[in-house]
Chains A and B, each alone.
Chain A
Amino acid sequence: MIPISWYLLFSAALFSIGLYGVLARKNAIAILMGIELMLNAVNVNLIAFWRYLSPEKIDGQAFAVIVFATAAAEVAVGLAIFISIYRRRHTVAADEIDLLKW
């Protein structure tokens, strides 16, 4: 059986890539994609721990399913917001979306 540390390392790497994407990419769509990566890294973690710590129960899987649902909802809302912003301001660059500043 593959040791759990591998999964964790993989998950951490995936999370870091996602985080980097969120922080570094200008394109809002890319930021959303980064967020997806981070969420899925969490899912990998959940599943890994479930498998190693309490495979007889389904709690880890249930969590993972809830995270999927949340991620789907979040993407739907996020994309809708970006489309709306694009229509008004003709851009999806995160730098230029600074309406919330002082």
Chain B
Amino acid sequence: MSTELLIWLIPLPPLLSFFLIILLTNRNKGISHTLAVGAAALSWIGSMVVIYRAFQMEHLRATPFASSIPWLPTGITWLRIGVLVDPLTAVTLFFVAWTIFMIFIYSVGYHNFGQPKGDHDKAGLPPHGATISDAHGHSHIIPSIEPMYSRFFAFLGLFAFGMYTLVVSDNLLTLFIGWEIMGLCSYLLIGFWYAKPSARAAMIKAFITTRVGDVFMLLGIAYLYASTGSLNYRETIYNPEVLHQLVQTPTGFLGLSAAALIGILLFIGTVGKSAQFPLHVWLPDAMEGPTPVSAMIHAATMVSAGIYLVIRIYPLLAAGMEHGQLTPPMIMMAIIGGFSALFAATIALAQNDIKRVLAYSTISQLGYMIAALGIGAYVAATFHLITHAFFKALLFLGSGSVIHGMEHGVLHTGEHVDPQDMFNMGGLRKKMPITFWTFLIGGLALSGFPIITAGFWSKDEILADAFAHQQWVTFFSLAFGALITAFYTMRQISLTFLGEPRSKSAAHAKETPWTMTVPLIILAVFAIGAGWAGIPRDFPLIGGVIPNWFHEYVGHSLIEAPETIQFNFIPLLTSLIVSIGGLGLGWIVYKQIGAGVPDPMQQLLGPVYKVLKNKYYVDEFYNKVFVQPAQWFAETFTYLWIDRKVIDGFLHWIAYVAGIIGNAFRNYIDKPIVNGFGDWVAETTKKLGSALRPIQSGRIQQYMILALVSIAAFTALFYYLLVYVR
């Protein structure tokens, strides 16, 4: 099969599985997950073949795999859509295919396939457990299967279609379509347990918040199309002439060039999708969804798609950059990214929900990538995108596994504790060894533990880039963010796995089934190994043992490959210190926390802790500034004033006037004239009838006499007329 055809086919199996499941196999859970996982496997195989062939190509940048078809007629030309696999797509496809496939498999175990139906489970709520009795006659409560199991896999399939479409498309329009499909699936899956009010609120919040970004992004796409007449990457963003022309075009808006304005508009789409400040509020709430969803959509793929977009349009963002002078969109990205990285990391310090910590960590890490792109570290950002996707998917799946184990304990003991609160955990390393070791690897990768983890190499490269480009503000905020990241990661690991169990549920937690642990192990391999592809050539001792393949390969996606930066010990030492230091501090503070002991940070930070705990009151602020005014506007202004008073008043007035006119017509025209005439006709006819009635006596002889008389009379009349009158 030709590679181009294969690329076209990659997104299709999950879409097909979506339709098959919702239309046909919804009732059968086994067939449904077989279809979905099978479809994910097909897409995975296709992706791997394409990636293998792409890696074989010598000059993939100059001659990428591309094919397109005319799709929409636009005036005299056609809007073409197509697929494109260049080095950037190839590496993105790599982590997308792996994480999606792993998460599909994981979902089978997470939703308790093979377990009995729950005693009183309802669609729209998480399963509550089923009672079984063992051979000795004891009854146990064990986890029960998700009631809407098939629906979950259908949505995952649709989501996978959206993500693959986004990655392989060669233009911004189909990218946007994939982007929106994922937005829809994110909405549906956050609200998967829709009977929970919190899940409903979270799904709406996520959808509306990302929509704010999407509207700007659509404006950017429209602007780009209006200026260049094309949305194809290679015709616009990767075309030096078009870029030059866009840079030369002024927009009259804050002195920005067309390139800068389009870049900023598209970047705002990313701010929404990748949950950057100030549109980050939806991502932590999105943790209401099932954990595979959090891992796939809200850590590994969908939020990464936002970064992918910025990386994809990087030439546009950097267009007009001279002598290391950053362009306006890049400055904006450096600020927003750096701020989000630090901001979200500090919030993560004070969160107790195991998934929420990871959610803020995701915002923070995505901020790293944005900041890296903002200072021009294109390759480093891409590198971190990939390593992050692996280790963050791993961490989320690990946290899901922990929650699953805890839920088992909760059901077993009948205790009423929150299975997601880290202060109820502790000591899980003995109960769940596979989860512990893989989570540890993921956590170390997130903190950038030196040398062995992937996170170290990518994070170090970003810091090195920031240092080399002398972006001190970015450098220090990212370095400080990295310190905090290491600290809260160690806090999480210590609270969850180390020490002694702080609740009976934690003491009775159980390792999860193989469908959940195998994806963990595979992702753990990548969380370590993915970093080896990008070791700088002149790194001490091990540099150059493995060639810095990543830089060479991905760097060539750009028109001019970025130059390798000079190795410097200062950023390396910085990243070593922050990583080891953060981990060490976390270990010291949290190594032994007994049951019921408050968070030591509470004393250490004092009132700041409360601010962090409440996420800097951003939600409250938005509630006051946006939500409540909007509600006031809807309820008081629009409903009470405009709708009830003005519009209703006007309508009631019209109705009143129409009533008066109608009554007048009725009283002066209808009743006297029309009715009067009708009644008169009827009355007269009636009177005439009763007057003539007596002659109808029913006696035949009278009729005949009458007829005879009439004939005689008429005869006389005619006779008279004919004889005398003429």
Q: Contact: A98 with B698, CB < 8 Å? A: yes
B69 within 8 A of A: no
Chain A residue, CB-CB nearest to B699: A98
Q: Contact: A23 with B705, CB < 8 Å? A: yes
B243 to chain A, nearest CB (A): 104
B342 to chain A, nearest CB (A): 107
Cα distance, A68 to B698, chains bound together (Å): 29
Contact partners of A94 in chain B: CB under 8 A: 699-701
Contact partners of B697 in chain A: CB under 8 A: 98, 101
Q: Which of A19, A100, A101 contacts B708 (CB 8 A)?
A: A19
- Among B697, B701, B708, which residue has the most Cβ atoms of chain A within 10 A? B701
Contact partners of B693 in chain A: CB under 8 A: 102
Cα distance, A23 to B700, chains bound together (Å): 9
Query: Per-position contact with A for B691-708: 1 when CB-CB < 8 Å, else 0?
Result: 001001111110011001
A56 within 8 A of B: no
A12 to chain B, nearest CB (A): 15
Within 8 A of B (CB), among A44-102: 94-95, 97-102
Within 8 A of B (CB), among A8-34: 19, 22-24, 31
A51 to chain B, nearest CB (A): 27
Cα distance, A54 to B705, chains bound together (Å): 35
A94 to chain B, nearest CB (A): 6
Q: Contact: B698 with A99, CB < 8 Å? A: yes
Q: Contact: A23 with B708, CB < 8 Å? A: yes
Contact partners of B698 in chain A: CB under 8 A: 97-102
A57 to chain B, nearest CB (A): 30
Contact partners of A19 in chain B: CB under 8 A: 708
Cα distance, A87 to B701, chains bound together (Å): 22
A95 to chain B, nearest CB (A): 6
Chain A residue, CB-CB nearest to B694: A102
Cα distance, A22 to B697, chains bound together (Å): 17
Q: Which of A22, A100, A102 contacts B701 (CB 8 A)?
A: A22
Q: Contact: A23 with B696, CB < 8 Å? A: no
A73 to chain B, nearest CB (A): 19
Cα distance, A101 to B698, chains bound together (Å): 4
Categorize the interface residue count of chain B: 10 to 19
Chain A residue, CB-CB nearest to B690: A102
Chain A residue, CB-CB nearest to B692: A102
Cα distance, A97 to B693, chains bound together (Å): 18
A71 to chain B, nearest CB (A): 18
B474 to chain A, nearest CB (A): 111
Contact partners of A24 in chain B: CB under 8 A: 701
Contact partners of A31 in chain B: CB under 8 A: 700-701
Beyond A19-B708, A23-B704, is A95–B696 a contact (Cβ under 8 Å)? no
Cα distance, A95 to B705, chains bound together (Å): 13
Within 8 A of A (CB), among B655-706: 693, 696-701, 704-705
Contact partners of B701 in chain A: CB under 8 A: 22-24, 31, 94-95
Contact partners of A22 in chain B: CB under 8 A: 701, 704
Chain A residue, CB-CB nearest to B700: A94
- Among A19, A98, A100, A102, which residue has the most Cβ atoms of chain B within 10 A? A102
Cα distance, A23 to B708, chains bound together (Å): 10
Contact partners of A101 in chain B: CB under 8 A: 696-699
A39 to chain B, nearest CB (A): 15
A22 to chain B, nearest CB (A): 6
Cα distance, A23 to B701, chains bound together (Å): 5
Contact partners of B704 in chain A: CB under 8 A: 22-23
Q: Contact: B696 with A102, CB < 8 Å? A: yes
Cα distance, A100 to B697, chains bound together (Å): 8
A86 to chain B, nearest CB (A): 16
Cα distance, A82 to B228, chains bound together (Å): 106
Chain B residue, CB-CB nearest to A96: B699
Contact partners of A23 in chain B: CB under 8 A: 701, 704-705, 708
Cα distance, A98 to B702, chains bound together (Å): 11
Chain A residue, CB-CB nearest to B693: A102
B164 to chain A, nearest CB (A): 91
B351 to chain A, nearest CB (A): 100
Within 8 A of A (CB), among B703-717: 704-705, 708
Contact partners of B700 in chain A: CB under 8 A: 31, 94, 97
A98 to chain B, nearest CB (A): 3
Cα distance, A97 to B703, chains bound together (Å): 13
Chain B residue, CB-CB nearest to A99: B698
B229 to chain A, nearest CB (A): 92
Chain A residue, CB-CB nearest to B697: A101
Contact partners of B699 in chain A: CB under 8 A: 94-95, 97-98, 101
Cα distance, A94 to B697, chains bound together (Å): 12
Contact partners of A95 in chain B: CB under 8 A: 699, 701
Within 8 A of A (CB), among B324-338: none
Cα distance, A102 to B700, chains bound together (Å): 13
Cα distance, A95 to B693, chains bound together (Å): 18
B544 to chain A, nearest CB (A): 126
B710 to chain A, nearest CB (A): 14
B707 to chain A, nearest CB (A): 10
Cα distance, A23 to B696, chains bound together (Å): 17
A27 to chain B, nearest CB (A): 11
A43 to chain B, nearest CB (A): 21
A88 to chain B, nearest CB (A): 16
Cα distance, A99 to B700, chains bound together (Å): 10
A21 to chain B, nearest CB (A): 11
Cα distance, A95 to B700, chains bound together (Å): 8
Chain A residue, CB-CB nearest to B703: A100
Cα distance, A98 to B696, chains bound together (Å): 10
Cα distance, A86 to B704, chains bound together (Å): 22
B719 to chain A, nearest CB (A): 17
Cα distance, A24 to B708, chains bound together (Å): 13
Cα distance, A31 to B700, chains bound together (Å): 10
Cα distance, A22 to B123, chains bound together (Å): 95
Cα distance, A31 to B698, chains bound together (Å): 16
Cα distance, A101 to B697, chains bound together (Å): 5
B73 to chain A, nearest CB (A): 81
Q: A23-B705, A101-B697 are in contact. List 15 more A-B contacts (CB 8 A).
A: A23-B701, A23-B704, A23-B708, A24-B701, A31-B700, A31-B701, A94-B700, A95-B701, A98-B697, A98-B698, A99-B698, A100-B696, A101-B696, A102-B696, A102-B698
Instruction: Name B residues whose Cβ lies closer than 8 Å to a Cβ of A.
Output: 693, 696-701, 704-705, 708
A-B contact pairs, 14 of them (CB 8 A): A19-B708, A22-B701, A22-B704, A23-B704, A23-B708, A94-B699, A94-B700, A95-B699, A97-B698, A97-B700, A100-B696, A100-B698, A101-B699, A102-B698
Instruction: Name A residues whose Cβ lies closer than 8 Å to a Cβ of B.
Output: 19, 22-24, 31, 94-95, 97-102
